[in-house]
Structure 1
């Protein structure tokens, strides 16, 4: 191990509070650089990045056009108050609004990342409707700020439940159906019935928003069945509720389309984005606002703001990322990799390995759910998952592990050969584990 790697690990252990873990569980993996779909440490050891870091480096590591755009903007204007007009802010707004299903009158509110974008989307919905409650899903993750973490459905919300007005429901997940469904159609119909009953039980006149990840990511890459999101839209319309779609992880190429919602013929009222919009090169997020809700704040004060809203370096990264994705066919590449390499390759692994309970996904957004027993569907235990993670790293693959799942989420720029390389290592590791 190189001296710089040793120093980085020591600093992580001794100086930093770790996210979602005790500080004693400091990282032992060091990243010193990267290019495209590969990363390396100071000693020069390389790994194929099948994690996209935290599912955000959609354009890959160190894309020269984005790096150059950030450097150019730094030479021109490093920072500016959000109360001032800045050319690159307008350019970034044009780029993201062009991908929204709103048309003229839509607007954008820029934030520092996904969690505070959720905060502000919920704030907009509450002000717009004059209501308070938010219905979100148990299998969800929306961020680690005060309201976003309580809107989150997984166990991480429990130590943080200080915000009020949050209600949870179950979304569709046929493999572990909460609704005794035996088909995709039954799961969709019963999940929609359940959601509407929750809204009714909470008194619809008190519900400001229904908040969903278009494709729940950290919860397991749960691609919604056909008709589900359209059904949620009908429920929202029936009761005058704002529909917020969280595209932080699923958006900007990840599912093989510009936004995941493009594949579901649904027009939300608010769209939350971050991560892939500029591959996380500079922290950025935002809320895409429909004309109807934007009109609420035309003369009325929006009660929110951030020092770094529309930060020039982040805006330059957005413009360069989205232009590059369009010019280089990166979204189309993600769709092709999913349909021709990852989907068939993961299905082949599932056919021969009893540990694989289900494979699901699209684009470069896939989950391999691992079970100790294929009949009872008992999740594979933490010890076995830790061993799988270690063996993937030893095999030259940087994985994304969540609970009993391996998430296969490489950059959208991954080549077919690189994707096959990653699948070969994953197949070998899972075969050994079985």
Structure 2
């Protein structure tokens, strides 16, 4: 047997084992044909036979520091050699160092981190904190949102995934800004912002401000379409929350830690929340972790009162070590700055050039390494491109060596923050060729 035969056999074995034993999320199981990934480095992954793919999905928009970054791998190795696990009730140096680094990047007045196992758990516990701190029950969130697939998080979610899972109570939805498909008959970003804020004001008034614990928003909605907030919107939500004495929770699970070219996405929008949730980019998913960043005044609520929440693996030392390794490397290597530059100088201009060439691209929007191409059957009517055509385009991209992130009628262009100029050029050429061939 040749080396080529052996590696091909490994890909076939991986596929067979996956189809026989693995139950996939958000999928009808029968027709699945997942790509085999055996290894990776930076913005590139490959299968056992060596077929190479540019990872412009960052898996689930989480591999911000890229695949197999040596500083993160080494940090995990060192911690595994010293102490592989410890309960959350113990003090642990690595956990403390991870929390210190996260707090250092948060706004003034934030002093504590509650660690969770991922982003959905972070949302659950932020909601729990808000309800206990305020003594109120309701949580307001937008229809175009995704906050995770646990009890309250999935009901706070606005998209279709909420509907089979609506078991939690106290959730109310409203429409956020989305000028391309405006719910408010707006024609400018300023109109969209003002009318969306008036809509939110009326929802608050109609629900009763004294019943509302929190407004929960993704700083930049991700899976819903990378919906960049129009001028004044997030600041306006902050003002409404203050006016009605409601907490503002900003979900930075997908948008945080470099994705927008800033440590936190909200730092570009003149707003400071009351609670911040994070996961994904804080350690690029090398070990499952998430958390809530808490200001002094909310943490003080639980100085003498038990916080009724906890997880066996909260602040797991391997996860904490990966956070320390990731954040230190992102700082020293200028990785957040690279994401900002790539967005401004390469991805933004390159994607807009694509839109000029391909009629199916109705709108390009984004910042940093967080972009979406909204695909339409007709630019005038903005009718979404049909699912069959999207599937054909996705297949064309994968066959040309690029892993896309597809959601509804959009292709999200979300490479790691370490992506290089040459890799962006290569990806743009693949997108161009795939659009020409598939549509």
With structure 2 as the length reference, what TM-score do the two structures score? Answer: 0.98
The separation in 1 between residues aligned to 2:284 and 2:297, in whole angstroms, is: 29
Where 2:90 maps in the other structure, the secondary structure is: coil
The question of 1:338 aligning with 2:343 is answered: yes
| Residue in structure 2 matching 1:18, options 18, 24, 39 | 24
Report the 3-state secondary structure (helix = DSSP H, G, I; strand = E; otherwise coil) of the residue aligned with 1:98. helix
Does 2:384 correspond to 1:379?
yes
- Unaligned 5+ segments in structure 2 are 1-6
Deviation (angstroms), 1:290:
1.3
Matched residue SS, 2:330: helix
Cα displacement string for residues 213-234 of structure 1 (whole angstroms, at most 9, x for unaligned residues): 0000000000101211000001
User: Structure 1 residue runs of 4+, over 4 Å off?
Assistant: none
Match of 2:89 in 1: 83
Provide the residue aligned with 1:317 in structure 2: 322
How far apart, CA to CA, are the structure 1 residues paired with 2:195 and 2:436?
36
Q: Among 125, 132, 140, which residue is 1:127 paired with?
A: 132
Q: Unmatched 5+ residue regions in structure 1? A: none
Q: Residues 122 and 209 of structure 1 are in contact (CA less than 8 Å); yes or no, is this contact kept in structure 2?
A: yes
Q: Is the 8 A contact 1:12 1:27 kept in 2?
A: no
Aligned-residue offset at 1:26: 2.8
Post-superposition CA distance 1:322-366 (Å, at most 9, x none)? 000000000000000000000000011111211011000000000
Query: What pairs up with 1:140-219 in 2 under 5 angstroms?
Result: 140-219=145-224
Q: Is the 8 A contact 1:12 1:26 kept in 2?
A: no
Q: Secondary structure at the match of 1:258?
A: coil
After TM superposition, list the pairs within 5 Å mapping 1:97-112 onto structure 2.
Answer: 97-103=103-109, 106-112=111-117
1:327 corresponds to 2:332: yes
Instruction: Give the drift of 1:410.
Output: 0.1
The whole-number CA distance in structure 2 between the counterparts of 1:111 and 1:143 is 13
Q: How far apart, CA to CA, are the structure 2 residues paired with 1:11 and 1:293?
A: 47
Q: 1:235 aligns with which of 236, 240, 251?
A: 240
* Number of aligned residues: 433
Aligned match for 2:33, one of 20, 23, 27: 27
* DSSP 3-state at the match of 1:224: coil
Please state how far the C-alpha of 1:377 moved relative to its aligned partner: 0.6
**Is residue 102–residue 291 contact of structure 1 (8 Å, CA) maintained in 2?**
no
Alignment RMSD, CA only? 0.9
Deviation at 1:102, TM superposition (A): 3.0
Instruction: Please tell me whether the aligned partners of residues 41 and 69 of structure 2 are also in contact (alpha carbons under 8 angstroms).
Output: yes
User: In structure 2, what is the equivalent of residue 139 of structure 1?
Assistant: 144
C-alpha distance in structure 2 between counterparts of 1:356 and 1:315, whole Å: 41
Greater CA drift, 16-25 or 323-332: 16-25
- d(CA) in 2 for partners of 1:207 and 1:109? 23
What secondary structure does 2:256 align onto?
coil
- Counterpart secondary structure, 2:30: helix
User: How far is the alpha carbon of 1:193 from its aligned partner?
Assistant: 0.5
Query: 2:137, 2:20 → 1: CA distance?
Result: 42
Report how far residue 204 of structure 1 moved. Answer: 0.6
The alignment status of 1:368 with 2:373, answered yes or no, reads: yes
